[in-house]
Structure formats: C-alpha cells, structure tokens
Amino acid sequence: MNTYFLLNKFKRVYKIAVYTAVMAALSFSSLYLGLQKVMALGNPIREIETYSRFDFAAIPMGIGLFIVVILGIFYVITEEKWEDRYGAVLPLSLVGLLIVTVLVAVITPSVYEKRYEKAGLQPCKGVPTGYLPLFAKKFATDPSLCNE
C-alpha cells in the first residue's frame, strides 16, 4: 500500500519536481556568477576590461529563483500551495526582487564606469563581442586595444 501511495504521489508531482530541480540549478549558478563578479571588484584593473549590466543583478535574480525552489519543494512535499497555508508574502516577495534586480541593473554601469575612469581607462566604441547591444561596455587604456 505504501509503495502504491508513493507511486501515485510521484505521478502527480513529478513535473513540478523536475521544474524545481531546474530552478535550483539556475538559482545556484546565478548566485555563484553574481558573487564571483562582486569578488572580482577587489582584483587589480587590467589594460582591457568589460562589464555587463547583469553582473550584479544576478544576485537578486538568484535569490528570486531560490524562492521559486522553496515554493516548488513545499508543493512537492505537501501537494498544497504555499499561499493557501501561509499567505502570499513569500510569492509576492518575487515582485520586490524583480524591482531590486531592475534597479541594480540600472545602477551597475555607474559603479564600473567610475572605477574604470578613475584607473585611467577610456570607453571603447561599439558593442563588445558576445554581449547584447546597450548591455555591456568595454574599457581600455589605449583606444587601439579596443579591437582585441
């Protein structure tokens, strides 16, 4: 009887369990990449530097994805929505984290540009290779290095 119960439960929640596992992987990778970019601010500045608007925004995105993981695990275990038992505070915090993510993405260029200009780097023209237009900027000590 117990095996039959577990098999039926698995049939009901396996899609959400797979989704939750994917969200967990995305959450931890996003947090790792964001924290890695924060730690890289302590490194010395090289001759050529490139930044992306999403360098710091990966941290609140990772936290938001982790909230989705919590909600998914809760549903897989209890087969009940979080909001039905505890209220909508945790799911609504995703909206707040979305706002924080947008604000951080808007503020990020000023952090990098001040740092690079203080170090004597000049902004390069054009879009750096591998980045979306308007979402990254490249700096170099000499304009001839911009094409590397």
Joined together, the tokens standing for residue 111 give 């952090």
Domains identified in the chain, total number: 1
Q: pTM for this structure?
A: 0.82
Amino acid at 58: A
8 A C-beta contact, residue 31 and residue 69: no
8 A C-beta contact, residue 60 and residue 11: no
Query: Confidence band (pLDDT; 50, 70, 90) for 1?
Result: low
Q: Distance (Å, rounded) from C-alpha 111 to C-alpha 118?
A: 11
Query: What range defines the domain where residue 92 resides?
Result: 2-147
**pLDDT tens digits, one per residue of 24-81:** 999 999 999 999 999 998 899 999 888 888 889 999 999 999 999 999 999 999 988 8
- What residue has token string 């117990």? 2
By the 10 Å C-beta count (0-12 exposed, 13-18 middle, 19+ buried), 109 is classed as middle
